[in-house]
Amino acid sequence: MPTPNDPSRTLRAAIHALRAQFFVAGALFATWGVHVPSIKAHYALGEQSLAIAMLAAGAGSVVALLQAGRVLARHAPRTVVPFMALVCVAAVGSLLLPSRYGALLALMLAYGMAAALFDVAINDEATAIERLSGRHLMSGFHGMFSLGGMVGAAAWSALAPAGVTPTQHLLGATAVLGALALAATPFMLRQHRSAPAGGAGLSLPRGPLLLLGVMAGLGLVGEGAMYDWSVLYLRQELGAPTSIASMGYASFSGAMAAGRFGGDWVRARVRPAPLLRASGVLAALGMVLALAVPHPMGSPRFQCNK
């Protein structure tokens, strides 16, 4: 019978806690993503101003990623995650509270920085858990991110017809997700570090690593377009009601979750190069079909497993 201090029991608890944190990250991202039309209307923005607000989040992410190695060399993910979760919750929950565009830019910048550090910290924890367990778990963890995105988007699809306002949804959803992140934190690994503090300097990728980085970046261009613009596209260009537009995001996240939950199984049976080619073709076909179908209910959402 396992004891309270049994290492296997502690590791199982850490796995479940990390799954919850990935779920929170995905649901927070979806909670912001489904309200892009609401934000555009609230601040009376054109597409260019809205894109700049999204760029502010991207800029915050880049700044944070450049420092993420240093941060995680000094602090375990268990320390970083709750603080970054609270910043994400505060930023996303407040998106419709100000009336000035400058405040929106500041909130998006803060969200981008905090979300990037949160993401790096939970992935660092996932790497440590894979090493300790000797199992392939990474794709499943990322599946929880996509599942969170599906649930987060579907929640707004269900609540909008019931008369819940966008502000109420943002505040309520972020409160629940913040509580979940804090509740899961005590079960994360206690004392691992990603690297010695002396080796945390910035190192630019070269050679094959640079090529992989470019390929990942190109993949994220398509994925980011789906996350940031799909709901607005369905609402503004195809005339879909709020509930249907949000389900477009949810269906995309659900398809990605299915790919990720099966990703470890597929990766163990298919060589990397053919898998990468097939995934790229599938993703490209999905994007083409989504743009070619003129009716929102017929727009498929496909995405390769990362």
Each residue's pLDDT tens digit, 42-88: 999 998 999 999 999 999 999 999 999 899 999 999 999 999 999 99
Q: Classify the C-alpha dihedral 251-92-115-64 as positive or negative.
A: positive
- b (16+ CB within 10 A) / e for 101-134: eeebbbbbbbbbbbbbbbbbbbbbbbbbbeeeee
Q: Which domains does the chain have, with CATH numbers?
A: 7-298 (1.20.1250.20)
- CB-CB contact of 253 with 146 (8 Å): yes
Residue (of 17, 272, 50, 41) closest to 137 by Cα position: 17
> What pLDDT, on a 0 to 100 scale, did the predictor assign at position 304?
44
Instruction: Provide the strand spans (E) within the chain.
Output: none
Residue in this structure with the two tokens 């994400």, named with its chain if needed: 88
Q: Is 165 left (phi over 0), alpha (psi -120 to 50) or beta?
A: beta
pLDDT, position 201: 56
First vs last C-alpha separation in the chain: 38
The predicted pLDDT at position 4 comes to 52
What pLDDT score does 50 carry?
93
Q: What is the rounded CA–CA span in Å between residue 296 and residue 299?
A: 5
Cβ-based neighbours of 25, under 8 Å, separated by 6 or more: 115, 118, 119, 122, 145, 148
| Contacts of 281 by beta carbon, 8 Å cutoff, 6+ apart | none
Calculated CA dihedral for residues 25, 31, 36, 37, nearest 10 degrees: 170
User: What's the pLDDT at 228?
Assistant: 74
pLDDT score of 280 = 82
pLDDT of residue 247: 78
pTM metric for this prediction: 0.82
Give the pLDDT of residue 305: 43
Structure tokens at 5: 């201090």
Q: Exposed (0-12), middle (13-18) or buried (19+): which is 28, by Cβ within 10 Å? A: buried
22 neighbors 144 (Cβ within 8 angstroms): yes
What residue ranges of the chain have pLDDT lower than 50?
Answer: 1-2, 197-200, 299-306
CB contact at 8 A, 304 and 283: yes
Name the residue among 169, 168, 144, 145 with its Cα closest to residue 156: 169
The tens digit of pLDDT for each residue in 268-293 reads: 788 888 988 888 888 888 878 877 77
User: Which pLDDT score is estimated for 6?
Assistant: 59
For residue 281, give both structure tokens.
């073709």
Quick one: pLDDT at residue 306? 44
